[in-house]
Amino acid sequence: MNFRRALVIAVPYLWLIALFLIPFIIVVKISFSEIALAIPPYTPTLDITAGWAGIKHFFEGLTLDSFKLLTEDDLYWRAYVSSLRIALLATAGTLLIGYPIAYGMARAPQEWRPTLLMLVILPFWTSFLIRIYAWMGILSRDGLLNNFLEWIGVIDHPLTILNTNIAVFIGIIYAYLPFMILPIYSTIEKMDVSLLESAEDLGCSRLSAFWLITLPLSRPGIIAGCFLVFIPALGEFVIPSLLGGSRTLMIGKVLWDEFFANRDWPTASAVAVVLLAILIIPIILFQRNEQAQREAEQ
């Protein structure tokens, strides 16, 4: 029985080691290297066949030049700050839109919930790239949105929405909205309705009962949804490239340019390592805070 339990636990750990830890170690190794006109385009490379001498030569050649470049060139820190700002605002917008939808789904009649859930998941049946290309047609100056606004008389001339940060916000909110709705819906749907009935019997209005009971109890779903949206939005590349254009600065675009346009793998790897640190540190701090609260409650 213990062997079966250990085997079940080992499967996700082996998955993480093979698809996250080992690739991350390779990226870290490259980040301490120097750019070179070679294949691969960095040096030094680890030559295991040379034995201890090859390992010693590899570690002697490691440098921090790539990380120093990130502090010297303001392009990189401006890209990090811009990415954080866009990801935070997009996450907040996704929460403002997604929470009422999830609440309405959870409070809908039981027979309607599977249909509503399918409608939320339905966009995933279409390619992500095709959906973003569709927004290019909607947000362009002669696109559906401008034509509709002109037809109803809201505007007199087309608005410039495409190739702006607003288009990036729209694209991120649209693309990641299901990731916000689903965990919040799951939390609210499992909530005991009798708690609200008891609160109303004790004199609370529906709004007060929502703020005092529903919102606090849905906090785990809100936090999970925010993480699911913020983490991929911070390193997003496709949406800012297609909808934001050259004027939108995000770290995902910088990372792409360093890898494929400049072929500067050490700098690109350093950018990726710092980006991962930005994502992991808040998650670790949050988990420690949650663990401390649980211990205090016990």
Is residue 235 one of the residues assigned to a domain?
Answer: yes
Is 11 within a domain? Answer: no
CA gap 43, 272 in Å, rounded: 18
124 in any annotated domain: yes
Domain assignment present for residue 17? The answer is no
Cα gap 218→234, rounded to integer Å: 24
Nearest Cα residue to 79 out of 273, 275, 279, 281: 275
150 lies in which domain range? 70-297
25: in domain: no
In a domain, 53, yes or no: no
Residue 257, in any domain of the structure: yes
Calculate the CA 220 to chain-centre distance.
17
Number of structural domains (the chain) is 1
- List per-residue pLDDT tens for the chain, 298 residues long: 577 787 888 888 898 888 888 888 888 888 888 888 777 788 876 666 666 776 777 777 778 888 888 888 888 999 999 999 999 999 999 999 999 999 999 989 889 999 999 999 998 888 888 999 999 989 998 888 989 988 898 888 888 889 889 999 999 999 999 999 999 999 999 888 888 878 877 778 888 888 888 888 899 899 999 999 999 999 898 999 999 877 788 999 999 888 888 888 899 999 999 998 888 887 887 778 777 777 776 6
Which DSSP letter does residue 108 get? Answer: S
> Is 26 within a domain?
no
Task: List the beta strands (DSSP E) in the chain.
Answer: 34-35, 42-43
CATH number for the domain spanning 95: value is 1.10.3720.10
